Chains A and B, each alone.
Chain A
Amino acid sequence: MSIAMNWVGGEPICALITGARCIDPRTGLDQLADVLVVDSCIAEVGAVGSLTAPSEASIINAEGLIVMPAFTDPHVHLRTPGQEHKESLATGTRSAAAGGYCQLLAMPNTTPPIDSPEILRGVFSRLAEEAVIPVGQLACITRGMEGSQLTEMGLMAEIGVAGFTDDGLPVTDAGVLRRAMAYQRLHGLPIALHEEDPSLSAGAPLNEGQISAKRGLRGSPGIAESTMIERDCAIAELESAQIHVQHLSAARSVDAIARAKQSGVSVTAEASPHHLLLTEAACDTLDTRAKMNPPLRFEEDRLALIAGLRDGTIDCVATDHAPHSKDEKSEPFEIAPFGTTGLETAFAVLNQELVGNRDLDLSTLIERMTSGCVPFGLEPPMIKQGEPANLVVFDPEESWIAGEDGWESRSENCCFTGRSIKGRVVMTIASGVLVHRSGRLSGGEQL
């Protein structure tokens, strides 16, 4: 059984990227270097001017730019099938390519939910027709995401599903989740969990804090998340299961993951750019772009997430890219759907805010941006001879305003809209194919 990564594919480029600062935390690379891409792979990495490019190779002058392994995101909502008014597989993956991603894992909370081998096959074929970068697909843990009956996990594993999740909803019934974890021994694929105790979150549209109090809205406390993480880590320990905890939002959740890891539970965790950079203050004007689930919380939660990302308690950054139409997000705060888009801004905002403020070093940020698919058994992209060519070229000097030139995504509900950002992805190569390039990059015009 192996994970199916579906996409349109394309003609691999033959190119020499020259003069960039090349950084790969996994190989320890951080120097000015040339990278030669041939036949979908990294043919050679060497000192500037030292490589001999084939005559057909395009020369991409990347002086002053940064070349990194391209990013992978284990948590995006691509909305196929049934919600194509929010995003299509083409626009969602173009959005990812523009943000420097070479690989995504898509969530199954679609209409209908992806909860059977038949629906899964349908999505695979749509991805093969539309996706501009490789996409793996998760399927539901329970039929219809109703939280009671298990899906045909074995049959879906046979045709290449990447894992299982009811994301958007928690698996509230502990007994059901225990059976799902026990059943994992049959297929071996990770179970990704949206952690929320609905009796504590009580349908709240935002964090329980000053803004909920002032606005007369129900608030959801951080323990609505952390207590479920503690419960589910205990179940995972009992069943020796592998779980991946999605979108941490609370300081207590980081503690819960750290404790579980210490006691040997096979658990990984992700955090989103919005939880790492924003607090409930972003909800002060009831801007629906700041309405997410889990909600933005307090500054102390945000700082705990950053610390967790730094020390590795949190394994990776995941955007939870959640496109919604303008009409849907124009409803009042309580009615508008949860979620923000994030693929196009993720690395640039995190680099500006976390690396810029010395909360995180660049190499750690790159490691966390490229580790997203590792919990699901995929190899992380590397800048190393013989590896698949998954590369991102980043211009650390380009200044732009998020959303000003529109978005590749079909939706524009990005919580970072309007933010001035210094640094931008200018080129993305996924499995050797050029999937994004900004007009500002010089050289290699024939590509």
Chain B
Amino acid sequence: MKDLISIDQLGRAGIERILARANEVSQVASREVQKVPALRGRLVANLFYEASTRTTSSFELAAKRLSADVITLRASGSSVEKGESLKDTITTLSAYSPAAIVLRHPCAGAAALVAGWTDAAVINAGDGAHAHPTQALLDVHTLVNRIGDLTGKRIWIVGDIAHSRVARSSAVAFGLMGARVTLCGPPTLLPPGIGAALGCETSTSLERLGEADVVYGLRMQLERMEGVAIPSLREYSSYYMIDSGRLSSNQLVMHPGPVNRGVEISGAVVDGPHSLISEQVASGVAIRMAVLFELLAGGDVSKQHHETVMA
């Protein structure tokens, strides 16, 4: 496997392989020196055409823990703003011979295009509202570590399905792991055909939320929603906010962050005992280390430790 473009390409076996790898590498974080030399002397280039704090930082940290050199290019202030095409930017970047390019881009299909233009491994860190495979992997990792096998588990993904690459990737990943996924949101944010396209059920109401083992809330893009896709955030919250009144004590809650407290999810739920949100963030680094390792290194991570000691 040269690239990680979408979760479908992994299949269940591929997901499980990366989860196992993530469990191995997460031990690195508990060491005094949180580094292994797996990617020493190799370059990981983060190319971000959209703002993102947590995805960039977790990819940076993951690459650094594998001893890679890291550069991060952001669209603002770069040649991109001067009108350079994506292809030319990749050609320029390729002159540095990166081992991997981590790409976030506002257009669906951008990562797949780039993968055809470069010898570097391309990791899709979000292409439009299409895919975000490392988010899906960290979601599955978090959930499997908490509840084990997902077979037959019911997972509700609630909110702005239309604009969410998280929904598109994580729904598919949960499904591959045997869970039954329901996509729930206001009719204006639930595109026609989405259920059939992703193999999920759909709902426009939280009435049956009680059946869910896990409730996954999506971030509302506040600035572009009000008066367009929904009449008001107040009305949205009254129908779709995940709060303690709508949850029972045995349901777990996830969210990709950043959270709009009091809009899609209540503050009490975010901070409550059923929230897996901080586990998701912690999984993010381990999963991205595992993916970089999988694509660029291979072999046994535990051996990396011995090399470190001997070095």
Residues of A within 8 A of B (CB): 208-217, 219, 285-286, 327, 330-335
Shortest distance from the beta carbon of A296 to any chain B beta carbon, whole Å: 15
Evaluate whether A215 and B85 lie within 8 angstroms (CB atoms) in the complex, with A210-B193, A334-B128 already known.
no
Shortest distance from the beta carbon of B80 to any chain A beta carbon, whole Å: 12
Across the interface, name the chain A residue whose C-beta is closest to B132: A216
> In chain B, residues 101-156, which have Cβ atoms closer than 8 Å to a Cβ of chain A?
105-110, 112-113, 128-131
Find out whether the CB atom of B194 lies under 8 angstroms from the CB atom of A213. yes
7 contacts between A and B (CB under 8 A): A208-B193, A213-B194, A216-B131, A217-B108, A330-B87, A331-B86, A333-B108
Question: Binary interface profile of B, 295-310, with partner A (CB < 8 Å = 1, else 0)?
Answer: 0000000000000000
Evaluate whether A209 and B107 lie within 8 angstroms (CB atoms) in the complex, with A214-B168, A216-B128, A216-B163 already known.
no
Evaluate whether A332 and B193 lie within 8 angstroms (CB atoms) in the complex, with A215-B130, A216-B168 already known.
no
Across the interface, name the chain B residue whose C-beta is closest to A286: B109
Which size class do B's interface residues fall under? 20 to 34
Residues of B within 8 A of A (CB): 85-87, 105-110, 112-113, 128-131, 162-165, 168, 191-194, 196-198
Across the interface, name the chain A residue whose C-beta is closest to B105: A332
Find out whether the CB atom of B197 lies under 8 angstroms from the CB atom of A213. yes
Find out whether the CB atom of B108 lies under 8 angstroms from the CB atom of A208. no
17 further A-B contacts with Cβ under 8 Å, apart from A334-B128, A335-B107, are A211-B197, A213-B194, A213-B196, A214-B197, A214-B198, A215-B109, A215-B130, A216-B128, A216-B130, A219-B192, A285-B112, A330-B85, A331-B87, A332-B105, A332-B108, A334-B106, A334-B107
Across the interface, name the chain B residue whose C-beta is closest to A219: B191
The complex places the Cα of A327 from the Cα of B110 at a distance, in Å, of: 15
Evaluate whether A216 and B129 lie within 8 angstroms (CB atoms) in the complex, with A208-B192, A330-B85, A334-B108 already known.
yes
Evaluate whether A333 and B107 lie within 8 angstroms (CB atoms) in the complex, with A216-B129, A216-B130, A327-B85 already known.
yes
Determine the chain B residues whose CB is within 8 A of the CB of A209 once the complex forms. Answer: 192-193
The complex places the Cα of A331 from the Cα of B165 at a distance, in Å, of: 20
Shortest distance from the beta carbon of A213 to any chain B beta carbon, whole Å: 4
Shortest distance from the beta carbon of A333 to any chain B beta carbon, whole Å: 5
Find out whether the CB atom of B193 lies under 8 angstroms from the CB atom of A217. no
For the complex of A and B, list the 5 residue pairs with the smallest distance between their C-beta atoms, beginning with the closest.
A216-B129, A332-B107, A286-B109, A214-B197, A213-B197
The CB with the most chain B CB atoms within 10 A, among A211, A212, A285, is that of A212
Shortest distance from the beta carbon of B240 to any chain A beta carbon, whole Å: 20
